[in-house]
Structure 1
Amino acid sequence: MPVTWFTSDSHFGHRGILSPRMDRPRPFASIEEHDEVLISRWNDRVCKHDHVYHLGDFAYGCSHAYARQVFDRLNGIKFLIRGNHEERGDRLAWAGAPVNVLHVHVQDPGMKRAQGIWLSHYSHRTWPNVWRGDIHLYGHSHGSLSATARSCDVGVDVWAYRPVRLAEIMEVLDEHSAREAGDAAAAALAEAA
């Protein structure tokens, strides 16, 4: 059974992502090293028949031919959501129909039931079916926004420059849920005192 993976903001071919002027410059000596490490880490985790949702900013500042070459080297059946670097609809037309948001249900091996997920390049404060247990995965922030009990940044800057499984994401969300419940209980006790 295929496994589902999520990632965002790979920025293949984008020399500027290494610049010290960036808030969080990536720790690679060259864009060639950057791209090869990201390709290797992707392919070390993702199998040929796995599904990968890439939530925007796949490539930037490189030719369409180079972006296509990288795309073709990556394992899995890939679904791309448009990010701010893919604003033009034809930017990665060979990668499928461009979409801005996507609502999916994922049931990986070992899961008792499917999990509803709202996917977007951008972080949302609310989303469809949030009150029915659906979670939200996003990119764009390059690790500058903390996860919550219901939402998480799946960008490569947060996840060691590699895609992440839903089980790993759920562990992070569960930690934040427990922390938020503890904070609410402490606030209620303080208010009652």
Structure 2
Amino acid sequence: MDDTYLVEIRLARTRWQIKETTRAITQKSGAERYRERHPHVTLYGPFTLKDPTRVQFLLDTIGTIAGSIGAVPFTLDGWERRDGMHGGVVAFSVSPSPALVRLSATLARALSCFTISLNAWDLRPDEKWFHVTIANRLPPGKAEEIVSGLTAPGYDASGSPATGPNTAGLRTRLLALAERMGVIHQRRNVPIRPVLLDDAGLRITVMHKDMILGEYDLLRQQWLAHEEIHNPRSWQQSLALYRRSAGFELSAPVAHEPGEIFLIADLHLGHANIIRYCSRPFVHSDVAEMDRVLIANWNYRVAPRNPVFFLGDLRYGGDARPDAEYRVLLNGRITFVAGNHDKNTRDTVPSALLACDGQEFLLVHDPANAPAGFSGWVIHGHHHNNDLRAFPFIDFAGKKINVSAEVIGYSPVSLQEICRIIRERTPGSEEPLLLRYPYVQ
């Protein structure tokens, strides 16, 4: 094998979900041997060094460029196929932020002075193909076959067994129990639809052949010791810095008008697997950290006298604390709308109606439960960030508003803010607003 190097960003929040989706696609299509095991976005390379002794200079150059960048946002948006250097490629498409484009181009200009790139895109950084590989080195026709299958109507690569509701429920409970006991590592059946997920590069990884040569933390602005690279505590530090820089973790009360009405859904407190299923910016092994941040965000955003409408699924799972223990920790005069995972529904309502700016809003957990003849706006949760094309933050055409925690940045959003966005949108425009927080649109 050539003495090659590669500079990349490995996925952070979406890593588990993309790996599971990749596994499902390649297994279903018979392309498992071509599967990419470590999903990443290539920044530069593969390449060789003109002078093999300049390894430290390589790292120093990358560190200098990365030293003041911070997290680098991008969006995973569907999939595509292309012809690669060694055969067909099927990949998740990446919509890069300007920061990602600048980082890649800057690296290409600096590194090309003392490296020999084996990637034609490095010679044309303005035309670079940003992607996350699903499978590569595919034989002729295989990439086209995979993508044709993925785009076929009704395609489902989840591999879900056909079972009745009682059997499926028992099977799910037994698998969950075995996973908690450490007997098995459960692989969730992932339904395959074109992905639309936001992520951000938190670290730059430099590969030498198949080994990690070094990893630079963009939030801490330093090269990591080798033992830190895969350490969950180290990732906790990186993710905490990222949450604060992105506004996902508040550190002080947020000023607002006394009469503001707040909304949020789907906290899923106590539910570790929601971190993976919905790409939340936390370490899967520490659900207590997620609970702490979500509760603090709520209380920084909401004053004790503010009206709050919580649209279902406060907690979930056998390891979660009782519903009442979470409720007393939350500020506001709260109306609880029942969610499909809520056990105690004595103090909940099935739906609620609000008015703002002459508009009528129906509040319900699952938008499918809205009356067919309702002509106002439906504010809902239930779908999290799992289908942003159908259930974005604001769907102007369908008059739906998704306030699941992941979609609105992990803290409640005010009804007045929603009304302002509706009021100020470009006249005649029905382009959806995918996420409340500023990301690649």
Is this a same-fold pair by TM over 0.5?
Answer: yes
Deviation at 1:148, TM superposition (A): 1.6
The alignment status of 1:78 with 2:334, answered yes or no, reads yes
Number of the residue aligned with 2:395 = 148
The alignment status of 1:42 with 2:298, answered yes or no, reads yes
In structure 2, relative to structure 1, the CA distance for the partners of 1:176 and 1:100 (3 Å cut) is farther
* Partner Cα distance (1:128, 1:2) in 2: 30
Q: Percent identity?
A: 28
Structure 2 SS opposite 1:78:
strand
Q: Residues 148 and 176 of structure 1 are in contact (CA less than 8 Å); yes or no, is this contact kept in structure 2?
A: no
Q: Residues 261 and 416 of structure 2 are in contact (CA less than 8 Å); yes or no, is this contact kept in structure 1?
A: no
The alignment status of 1:180 with 2:180, answered yes or no, reads no
Which is higher, the Rg of structure 1 or of structure 2? Answer: 2
Q: Residues 267 and 294 of structure 2 are in contact (CA less than 8 Å); yes or no, is this contact kept in structure 1?
A: yes
Structure 2 SS opposite 1:52:
strand
Number of the residue aligned with 1:161 = 410
Q: For residues 119-177 of structure 1, what are the alpha-carbon distances to aligned partners after superposition, in whole Å with 9 as ceiling and x for unaligned? A: 111124765551xxx32100011132122222210111111101100122234445386
Deviation at 1:67, TM superposition (A): 2.7
Gap runs ≥5 in structure 2: 1-257, 432-441
The alignment status of 1:136 with 2:392, answered yes or no, reads no
Q: Residues 55 and 82 of structure 1 are in contact (CA less than 8 Å); yes or no, is this contact kept in structure 2?
A: yes
In structure 2, relative to structure 1, the CA distance for the partners of 1:63 and 1:49 (3 Å cut) is farther
2:279 partner amino acid:
P
Number of the residue aligned with 2:167 = none
Number of the residue aligned with 1:189 = none
Deviation at 1:64, TM superposition (A): 7.9
> Structure 2 length normalisation: TM-score?
0.34
Aligned residues: 163
The alignment status of 1:52 with 2:302, answered yes or no, reads no
Q: Residues 50 and 76 of structure 1 are in contact (CA less than 8 Å); yes or no, is this contact kept in structure 2?
A: yes
* Partner Cα distance (1:176, 1:126) in 2: 28
Number of the residue aligned with 2:111 = none
Gap runs ≥5 in structure 1: 107-112, 182-193
Query: Which structure shows the higher strand fraction?
Result: 2
Select 1:119's aligned residue among 363, 383, 390: 363
Structure 2 SS opposite 1:80:
strand
1:2 partner amino acid:
G
2:313 partner amino acid:
D
Deviation at 1:2, TM superposition (A): 2.8
Q: Which moved more, 1:146-155 or 1:170-179?
A: 170-179
In structure 2, relative to structure 1, the CA distance for the partners of 1:62 and 1:50 (3 Å cut) is farther
Q: Residues 272 and 287 of structure 2 are in contact (CA less than 8 Å); yes or no, is this contact kept in structure 1?
A: yes
CA RMSD of the aligned region, Å?
A: 2.5
* Partner Cα distance (1:126, 1:92) in 2: 21
Alignment of structure 1 residues 101-120 onto 2, 5 Å: 101-106=351-356, 113=357, 115-120=359-364
* Partner Cα distance (1:167, 1:79) in 2: 17
1:123 partner amino acid:
P
* Partner Cα distance (2:372, 2:360) in 1: 11
* Partner Cα distance (1:167, 1:60) in 2: 29
2:418 partner amino acid:
I
Deviation at 1:179, TM superposition (A): 2.0
In structure 2, relative to structure 1, the CA distance for the partners of 1:122 and 1:153 (3 Å cut) is same
In structure 2, relative to structure 1, the CA distance for the partners of 1:119 and 1:46 (3 Å cut) is same
> Structure 1 length normalisation: TM-score?
0.73
Q: Residues 13 and 35 of structure 1 are in contact (CA less than 8 Å); yes or no, is this contact kept in structure 2?
A: yes
